[in-house]
Structure 1
Amino acid sequence: MYDFILRFIFVILQIPLFNNKYQKWVKGQKNIFNQIKKKSTKRIWFHCASIGEYENIKPLILKLKTGRNKIFVSFFSQSALSQFKDYDLVDQTSFLPLDTENNMKIFIDLINPKLVIISKNEIWPNMIQSINKKKIPIFSVGLKLKKSKIKRFLNRKFYTKHLNSFSYIFCQDIDTYNFLIKNNIYQCMLMFDLRIEQIINDKLRSSKNHIISSFIQNKTTIVYGSLEKNDFEKITKFIKDRNDLKHIVVPHEIKSSQINYLIKKIGNNYCYYSKISTENIPIHKSILIVDVFGLLKHLYNYSSISYVGGGFDKGVHNTIEPAIYGNFLIFGPKHQDFKETNYFIKNDVAEVVKNKSEFEKVISMLLVKKNSNSENIKKISSFIKNNNNTSNIIIDKICEICEI
């Protein structure tokens, strides 16, 4: 029945009525097996929903990639491969095929994995069952189950059935850990957030961006990162009115509809990052719209205050990236699922706002107060220190269970 439902959905999604995102996903499914190079050498297979989940486990890839370890990475998201740049770290990448029994049998035979590491919450029944049939060790790293989901009976049955098939589970939060123990799944541990290591690595490797440094002209700069449409109405009036500051605006998705909506709100004093050259930088403009992927995590080096989007939508996006650079953080009320946001609030490096007037009040106060980035880094130093050895703990545990 499960296979039938998946195939039915796949057929429906091919109808042109559905948006371009689904059409691209369907197109990406059509030639997966022909693109995979089958090898006799066994590989370590990492699976991620999208590029964010890849960044979560990248520290493991960096440490497991050796001469004898070949790395295979699969993605569910159709947009992930277009954003992926780390081809020097991996042997091969691919979309994950539709989770039918036959597809997974073929896919696993082609990859020939010696172990499988799944980032975050990707649970595909046929994938897990096929891996178990071949007696391949399988690990979940960064599992974090929403309270609202595990309250429902059918969800609890689904999770307990399939999570019990994992060799070991590294939980992201205490609620997930308690859920597993309560349901007699004892092959688990509570871990710190792997993203800290990756963000620190990115910070150490970050090089100067001549376009950004020239654009901001040493003026006070605010980054508005990972913006959803619900964020725009809270911040656009302030951005439009404060031409004395530099504003770097980064939508979560680079969609023409979102960008067009944004520019209607902010006036004409803007430019696009993609249209700037090093010879022609519009320093007279106060607003820079970043319309390319992969740049945001490096932009926080140039700002002292960051507004992080998503807090008025499904949940605030990555607050650790700007915090590592010492930015003071502002975000919306939907942040409770992330333990780091509570830590940042408690240590006076973050404020929650509920509407436009609160945002303008908080940011105006911060501009007068002028906290330095170095002071903010000191306030969260214990958070950084405690979270900076997680990958070694995970690898040690994996080595106890199987040979790498």
Structure 2
Amino acid sequence: MIWIYNIGIALFTVITELASHFNQKAKLFTEGRKKVFEKISAQVDPADRPIWFHFASLGEFEQGRPVLEKIKSINPAQKIIITFFSPSGYEIRKNYIEADAIFYLPMDTAAKAQKFLTLVNPSMAIFTKYEFWFHYFTALRQKQIPLYLISGIFRPGQAFFKWYGGFNRIILKCVSHFFVQNQESASLLKSIGINEVSVSGDTRFDRVYEHAAKPKKLAEIEEFCGEFPVFIAGSTWPADEKILSAFPERYPDWKLIIAPHEVNEQHIQDIEKIFPEAVKFSRIRDRGTKHKDQILLIDNIGMLSSLYQYGKVAYIGGGFGAGIHNTLEAAAFGIPVIFGPKYAKFQEAKDLIAENAAISITNESKLLSAFEHFKTNEKASANAKNYVTSKKGATEMIIAKIS
């Protein structure tokens, strides 16, 4: 089985290299890994025994961030290094000040995993939610370096729990301790003989709670909103934007802020075709806004979590594609949420529906109906905020175990 895995890694590397000639993400992915070992050698002293945090992408970074920052607050002298698999994580957080060094994760080969661990010499490794790399995990175990998985979540359909999943189970058994989001995940792990498991919950609740308590103020957004109520559409894709098209005319007394998941030039232009009256955020600094514009299009990355403080209702994108994006950032501000039909893999989405703080929709008319239900529903707002508050505390449990 290992030879199939190795071939898969090699093929992925080749395909990404080829794609880098015409795809910007693939280019960043490939270029970022060039001379990565030279960068690590120059920036990391193995004698420091840093804690190594790995994140797949930006979402996992935000999820694991409360644990990282708690460790740093307890021991400011502790060295921390971060690796990212995806450009969407690395490019946005490569200057994060709480880390002593940040790199792309070298591809998972036996030689590269050994070289990485020799150069870094971490005192422990902390992975968030998922990403199970055979060579890194087995090398950590060989070197007796503790490996923790935080905010993990597992489902019965995954290969780990199938008759053919022996290779996958080998990877899991390299983990020193699992901190999982729910009891189902713990039970699944125990069913395959893994007992080093704690049901700690999801560290995202700690992160969004802390952020909502002290949000970053955005002067241009405040000026745009004025005294108008605001509907925020976050992490949208084309299918989401299409069903949002009727909103501005139906609710002329509401502001609409659209923060798409992808902000490349083509996507922004496509959104402008649907909403020709929209003003781009990059322009309002130059020309200002006197509350006359109804639709604001966010054409940058990194503002969404702070935007929600100005909203009364939120639409979360992705539910007509692979799955919905982060609902908790909005819920933490006491904002009820609306999203598309593909949410089954997201426990918090199901919980918010059960708490009457979320509605899943399948078309434009159902979107408008859901919005009508939430636009003056103070109880739904309270339910959203209370749900987030009730679920925080995972960080403290994790720190108590690994310290």
TM-score by length of 1: 0.91
Encode CA deviations 1:209-229: one digit per residue, 9 max, x unaligned: 110111012111100001122
- The correspondence for 2:388, drawn from 373, 384, 387, is 384
Question: 1:102 and 2:111 equivalent?
Answer: yes
Contact 1:160 1:180 in 2 (8 A): no
1:302-321 pair list within 5 angstroms: 302-321=310-329
Q: Which digits, 9 at most, give the CA deviation of each residue in 1:249-278, with x for residues without a partner?
A: 011121222222221112x21111122217
The one of 390, 394, 398 aligned to 2:398 = 394
What is the aligned partner in structure 1 of residue 282 from structure 2? Answer: 274
Deviations 1:180-231 (A, max 9, x none): 1110111112221111111122122313211011101211110000112221
Query: How far off its partner does 1:62 sit?
Result: 1.1
Query: Deviations 1:317-356 (Å, cap 9, x if unpaired)?
Result: 1111111111121111111222222222222221111111
The 2-side partners of 1:9 and 1:333 are apart by: 31
d(CA) in 2 for partners of 1:155 and 1:250?
A: 42
Matches within 5 A, 1:3-402: 3-16=6-19, 19-36=23-40, 37-39=43-45, 40-65=47-72, 66-84=75-93, 87-150=96-159, 153=162, 156-239=165-248, 241-266=250-275, 268-277=276-285, 280-281=288-289, 283-367=291-375, 370-372=376-378, 375-380=379-384, 382-399=386-403
Q: Which amino acid is the alignment partner of residue 22 of structure 1?
A: A
Q: 1:240 to 1:124 in 2, by over 3 A?
A: farther
SS of the equivalent of 2:96 reads coil
CA distance in 2, matches of 1:214, 1:358: 31
Q: Which moved more, 1:12-21 or 1:296-305?
A: 12-21
Q: Which residue of 2 aligns with 1:402?
A: none
CA distance in 2, matches of 1:193, 1:86: 25
Contact 1:226–1:310 at 8 Å: present in 2 too?
yes
- Aligned pair count? 394
Structure 2 residue ranges without an equivalent (≥5)? none
8 Å contact kept, 1:3–1:101: no
Residues 211 and 278 in structure 1, CA contact (< 8 A), matched pair in contact too = no
Aligned mates of 1:175, 1:244 — CA distance in 2: 45
CA distance in 2, matches of 1:86, 1:388: 27
Distance 2:24 2:238 in 1: 19
Q: Which runs of 4+ in 1 moved over 4 A?
A: none
Q: Alignment partner of 2:123: what SS?
A: strand
Shift of residue 47 of structure 1?
0.3
Residue identity opposite 1:339 in structure 2: Q
Whole-angstrom CA distance in 2 between matches of 1:154 and 1:312: 32
Flag structure 1 segments of 5+ consecutive residues without an equivalent: 400-404
Q: CA deviation at 1:124?
A: 0.5
TM-score w.r.t. the length of structure 2 is 0.92
- Judge which range, 154-163 or 342-351, deviates more: 154-163
Tell me how large the CA RMSD over aligned residues is: 2.1
CA distance in 1, matches of 2:121, 2:380: 47
Q: Note if contact 2:335-2:384 (Cα within 8 Å) is conserved in structure 1.
A: no
Q: Report deviation, 1:364.
A: 3.1
Q: Distance in 2 between matches of 1:239 and 1:144?
A: 38
Tell me if the contact between 2:336 and 2:381 (Cα under 8 Å) persists in the aligned partners.
no
Rounded Cα–Cα distance in structure 1 between residues aligned with 2:346 and 2:157: 15
> For the residues of structure 2 that align with 1:118 and 1:155, how far apart are their CA atoms?
25
Instruction: Report percent identity of matched pairs.
Output: 27
State which drifts further: 66-75 or 214-223: 66-75
CA contact (8 A) 1:194 1:387 kept: no
Q: Is the 8 A contact 2:374 2:380 kept in 1?
A: no
Q: Partner of 2:323: helix, strand, or coil?
A: coil
Aligned 8 A contact 2:161 2:188 in 1:
no
Q: Take 1:377 and 1:71, find their aligned partners in 2: how far apart are those partners?
A: 38
Q: Are residues 177 and 54 of structure 1, via their aligned partners in 2, closer, same or farther at CA, if it must alter by over 3 Å?
A: same
Partner amino acid for 2:398?
A: I
User: Judging changes above 3 Å, is the alpha-carbon distance between structure 1 residues 366 and 388 closer, same or farther for their aligned structure 2 residues?
Assistant: closer
* 8 Å CA contact 2:229, 2:255 repeated in 1: yes
Taking the aligned partners of 2:246 and 2:385, their CA distance within structure 1 comes to: 34
Over residues 40-82 of structure 1, what are the superposed CA-to-partner deviations in whole Å (9 max), with x where a residue is unaligned?
2110000000111011111111111123311111000022222
**Aligned residue identity for 2:348:** E
Evaluate the alpha carbon distance shift between residue 19 and residue 278 of structure 1 in structure 2; reply closer, same or farther with a 3 A threshold. Answer: closer
Letter in 2 for 1:38: V
Cα pair 1:73 1:93 within 8 Å, conserved: yes
- Structure 1 residues 253, 240: closer, same or farther in 2, change over 3 A? farther
